[in-house]
Amino acid sequence: MSKFQGIEFYKKSDKKYHLLPFRFINLTEEKLLLTNLVGEYYLTDRKVLDDLVHHQLDRENLAYSNLRSRHFLYDEQTSIAKNLLKIKYRTKFNRLADFTSLHMFVVSLRCEHSCPYCQVSRQSDDKKKYDMSEEVASKSIDLTLRSPSKNIKIEFQGGESLLNFELIKYIVEEAKSRNVDKNLGFVIATNLAVVTQEILDYCLMHDIHISTSLDGPKSLHNKNRPRPGKNSYEKTIEGIQLTRDTLGFDKVNALMTTTEASLSMPKEIIDEYLLHNFSGIFLRPLSPYGFAIKTKKFNEYNASRWFEFYKQGLEYIIKLNKEGIRFREFYTSTILKKIFTLSDPGYVDLMSPAGIGIAAVVYNYDGNIFASDESRMLAEMGENKFKMGNVLHDTYKDIFLSDALLDPLEDSFALSVPMCNDCAFENYCGADPVYHYATTNDFVGRKPESDFCYRNMNAFKYIFNRMDSDKFVEDLFMSWSK
Partner 1 sequence: MEIEVSFDLKVYSLDTLKKAAYRYINVFSINFDIQPKQVRCTLAFTDKSTPDQCKYYVDQFKKEVLDQDLRNTIKNETEPVRNLILAQAFSKTGLVDDE
| 391, 365 contact by CB (below 8 A) | no
Smaller CB separation from partner 1, 93 or 291: 93
Kindly give, in sequence order, each residue whose CB lies less than 8 Å from that of residue 218, ignoring residues fewer than 6 positions away: 233, 234
Nearest CA among 260, 253, 232, 235 for reference residue 115: 232
What counts of helices (H) and strands (E) characterise the chain? 21, 15
Interstrand relation of 22-26 and 328-329 (parallel, antiparallel or unpaired): unpaired
Based on CB atoms, which residue is closest to partner 1, 21 or 148?
A: 21
Q: What phi-psi label fits residue 178: left (phi over 0), alpha (psi between -120 and 50 degrees) or beta?
A: alpha
Distance of CA 53 to the CA centre of its chain: 34
Nearest to partner 1 of 19, 325 (CB atom): 19
CB of 126 to partner 1, least distance (A): 46
What whole-number distance in Å separates Cα of residue 81 and Cα of residue 78? 6
Q: What Rg do the C-alpha atoms of the chain give, in angstroms?
A: 24
| Least distance in angstroms from the C-beta of 422 to partner 1 | 5
DSSP three-state, residue 478? helix
Q: How far is CA 34 from CA 23, 73, 337, 436, in A?
A: 6, 12, 18, 27
Alpha helices (H) in 42-147, listed in sequence order: 46-53, 62-69, 81-92, 95-98, 127-130, 134-146
Nearer to partner 1, 91 or 384 (CB): 91
Q: Give the DSSP letter string of 206-249.
A: TTEEEEEE--SSHHHHHHHS--TTS-HHHHHHHHHHHHHHHH-G
Least distance from partner 1 to the Cβ atom of residue 448, Å: 4
User: Which residue, 85 or 187, has its beta carbon nearer to partner 1?
Assistant: 85
Q: Which residues of this protein are in contact with partner 1, per CB under 8 A?
A: 18-24, 26, 37, 49-50, 53, 82, 85-87, 89-90, 93, 418-419, 422, 446, 448-449
CB of 20 to partner 1, least distance (A): 6
Note whether 75 and 17 are within 8 A (CB). Answer: yes
Nearer to partner 1, 84 or 392 (CB): 84
Residue 134 vs 449, nearer CB to partner 1: 449
Q: How far is the CB of 74 from partner 1 (least distance, A)?
A: 9
CB of 449 to partner 1, least distance (A): 5
CA distance 266 to 271: 9
Distance in Å, CB of 48 to partner 1, minimum: 12
Please say which residue, 49 or 274, places its beta carbon nearer to partner 1. 49
Q: How far is the CB of 37 from partner 1 (least distance, A)?
A: 7
Nearest approach, Cβ of 462 to partner 1 (angstroms)? Answer: 20
DSSP secondary structure letter of residue 110: B
Helix, coil or strand: residue 293: helix
Q: Which is nearer to partner 1, 229 or 418 (by Cβ)?
A: 418
Give CA separation, 162 vs 82, 86, 184, 218, 325, in Å. Answer: 52, 47, 20, 23, 35
Q: What is the nearest approach in angstroms of partner 1 to the Cβ of residue 307? A: 16
Q: Which is nearer to partner 1, 215 or 451 (CB)?
A: 451
Closer residue to partner 1 in complex, CB, 81/467: 81
What is the enclosing helix (H) or strand (E) of 300?
helix 296-322
The DSSP 8-state label assigned to residue 47 in this structure reads H
- C-beta of 420: minimal distance to partner 1 in Å? 11
